[in-house]
């Protein structure tokens, strides 16, 4: 029997549209922007990668967010694994078929063929290694490579970010006949800084596209399954749509909310959200998250959650109430940058805000107690 966790929306048409764009502009990557946890990685894995394979391409995925201090090494590691998979087949029969024969026995006589010629070792320099790996992988695959780099803005945040980005651009341009690339980014500020800073290596190199949120097709799946589990009960699509928007269009979170509603037999989506926010488990998660930063940072979060200007004189006076804080504009700016790095805050054209709308609501509720 299906569960809520089995409900998935596939978007093959969107994948085909992106692949067509890549084919129409060789050497120019696509940069897909959307906030975190809205389904970008799922799309890469379940829609774009299969579409690329059907087109004869070899998809290679690397999550740079998990390797912030060494993003280019993470990319090279992903390429090396893909090359190993091509050179060392999984099945025993295939492994035997590709094992070089060293000696042949014929009517009691033996002929030693000696060692097979070996390719030179891969370069130690990460930039040169990237170029060599792409070339060898394309030659071994006998087709194009699709690089899928998750959270690409991480490259620009590394200590030697400018050099890393320049190296990646050089390889993508030089090997444009052999490699295509799709980037994702969850930081609008970081992605814009990487792609649109005049004089920077990636300036206007990639085509930035807003990655679309899931729509009513996903919400209908949730509503239909809820009705299957609870015959005679229904969730209003308009209410689901409002709730989905409130939580920032995060499908996994919406699924969790509806699962909790199903367990309680609740059909009021607003009530379901309130129950989710006040559950012991979720409150414990948020308290642990907030305890990872100090009291001053929590004060800055509260100011931003209220929508107040964090660098105003009134804000500095309010923050002065925190014991031992001694707030200054410089300290508030440092706190904001720290909270951005920690994933608490995001900056868009509309300003700086908490990345999780429900966390923002929890912060305000806690402040009001």
Q: What is the pLDDT of residue 118?
A: 54
* CA distance linking residue 343 with residue 348, whole number of Å: 14
Do 87 and 142 fall into the same domain?
Answer: yes
pLDDT exceeds 50 at position 310: yes
- Complete edge-to-edge strand list for the sheet that includes strand 58-63: 58-63, 145-150, 179-185, 30-33, 207-210
* 333 Cβ neighbours under 8 A, 6+ residues apart: 311
Do 179 and 247 fall into the same domain?
Answer: no
Within-domain flag for 108:
no
Query: pLDDT digit string (tens) for 167-207?
Result: 888 899 999 999 999 999 888 778 777 877 766 778 788 89
Do 136 and 233 fall into the same domain?
Answer: no
* CA distance linking residue 4 with residue 265, whole number of Å: 14
* Percent helix, strand and coil across the chain, each to the nearest 5: 55, 10, 35
Torsion angles phi and psi, residue 202, rounded to 5: -95, 10
Do 93 and 183 fall into the same domain?
Answer: yes
Q: What is the pLDDT of residue 1?
A: 67
Average pLDDT over residues 38-52: 96
Do 327 and 238 fall into the same domain?
Answer: no
Residue 100's pLDDT band (cuts 50, 70, 90): low
Do 14 and 49 fall into the same domain?
Answer: yes
CB distance 155 to 194 below 8 Å: yes
DSSP 214: P
Do 222 and 288 fall into the same domain?
Answer: no
The tokens describing 97, both together, are 């078929």
Do 130 and 260 fall into the same domain?
Answer: no
Mean of pLDDT over the chain: 88
pLDDT exceeds 50 at position 113: no
pLDDT exceeds 90 at position 110: no
The tokens describing 213, both together, are 């949120």
Do 63 and 135 fall into the same domain?
Answer: yes
Between residues 101 and 232, which one has the greater pLDDT? Answer: 232
Within-domain flag for 197:
yes
Query: pLDDT digit string (tens) for 62-73?
Result: 998 878 888 888
* CA distance linking residue 149 with residue 194, whole number of Å: 14
Within-domain flag for 317:
yes
Torsion angles phi and psi, residue 163, rounded to 5: -65, -40
Domain that holds residue 255: 216-278
CB distance 40 to 184 below 8 Å: yes
Choose one of 172, 190, 210: the last residue of a domain.
210
pLDDT exceeds 70 at position 111: no
Q: What is the pLDDT of residue 36?
A: 86
Q: Which of 130-134, 259-263, 296-300 has the lowest mean pLDDT?
A: 130-134
Number of domains in the chain: 3
What is the CB neighbour count within 10 angstroms for residue 109?
A: 7
- By C-alpha distance, which of 47, 7, 35 is closest to 245? 35
Residue 262's pLDDT band (cuts 50, 70, 90): very high
Residue 343's pLDDT band (cuts 50, 70, 90): confident
Mind giving me the DSSP string for 121-145? Answer: PPPSSHHHHHHHHHHHHHHHHTS-E
What are the residues facing 290 on neighbouring strands?
A: none
Q: What is the pLDDT of residue 51?
A: 98
Do 154 and 43 fall into the same domain?
Answer: yes
Average pLDDT over residues 114-138: 79
* CA distance linking residue 29 with residue 168, whole number of Å: 11
- By C-alpha distance, which of 30, 21, 44, 59 is closest to 137? 59
Q: What is the pLDDT of residue 112?
A: 52
Whichever domain contains 189, its CATH number is 3.40.50.300
Choose one of 188, 210, 232: the last residue of a domain.
210
Do 123 and 39 fall into the same domain?
Answer: yes
- By C-alpha distance, which of 193, 183, 113 is closest to 148? 183
pLDDT exceeds 70 at position 96: no
What is the CB neighbour count within 10 angstroms for residue 111?
A: 11
Within-domain flag for 353:
yes
Choose one of 210, 237, 252: the last residue of a domain.
210
């Amino acid at each position: 029997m299906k569960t809520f966790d089995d409900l998935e929306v596939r978007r093959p048409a969107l994948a085909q549209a992106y692949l067509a764009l890549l084919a129409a502009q060789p050497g120019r990557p696509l940069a897909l922007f959307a906030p975190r946890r809205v389904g970008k990685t799922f799309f890469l894995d379940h829609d774009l990668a299969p579409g690329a394979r059907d087109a004869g391409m070899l998809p290679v995925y690397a999550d740079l967010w998990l390797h912030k201090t060494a993003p280019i090494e993470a990319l090279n590691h992903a390429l090396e694994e893909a090359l190993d998979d091509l050179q060392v087949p999984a099945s025993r029969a295939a492994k035997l078929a590709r094992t070089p024969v060293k000696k042949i026995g014929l009517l009691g006589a033996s002929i030693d063929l000696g060692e097979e010629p070996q390719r030179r070792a891969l370069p130690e320099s990460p930039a040169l290694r990237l170029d060599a790996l792409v070339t060898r992988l394309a030659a071994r695959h006998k087709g194009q490579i699709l690089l899928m780099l998750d959270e690409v803005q991480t490259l620009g945040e590394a200590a030697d970010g400018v050099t890393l980005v320049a190296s990646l651009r050089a390889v993508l341009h030089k090997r444009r006949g052999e490699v295509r690339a799709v980037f994702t980014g969850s930081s609008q500020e970081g992605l814009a800084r990487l792609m649109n800073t005049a004089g920077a290596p990636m300036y206007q190199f990639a085509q930035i596209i807003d990655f679309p949120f899931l729509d009513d097709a996903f919400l209908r799946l949730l509503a239909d399954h809820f009705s299957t589990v609870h015959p005679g009960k229904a969730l209003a699509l308009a209410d689901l749509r409002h709730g989905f928007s409130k939580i920032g269009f995060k499908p996994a979170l919406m699924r969790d909310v509806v699962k909790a509603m199903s367990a309680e037999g609740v059909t009021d989506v607003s009530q379901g959200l309130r129950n989710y926010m006040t559950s012991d488990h979720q409150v414990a998660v948020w308290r642990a998250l907030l305890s990872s930063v100090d009291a001053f940072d929590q004060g800055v979060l509260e100011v931003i959650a209220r929508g107040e200007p964090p660098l105003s004189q009134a804000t500095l006076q309010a923050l002065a109430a925190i014991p031992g804080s001694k707030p200054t504009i410089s300290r508030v700016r440092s706190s904001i940058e720290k909270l951005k790095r920690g994933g608490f805050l995001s900056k868009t054209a509309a300003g700086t805000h908490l990345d999780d709308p429900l966390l923002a609501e929890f912060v305000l509720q806690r402040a009001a107690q």
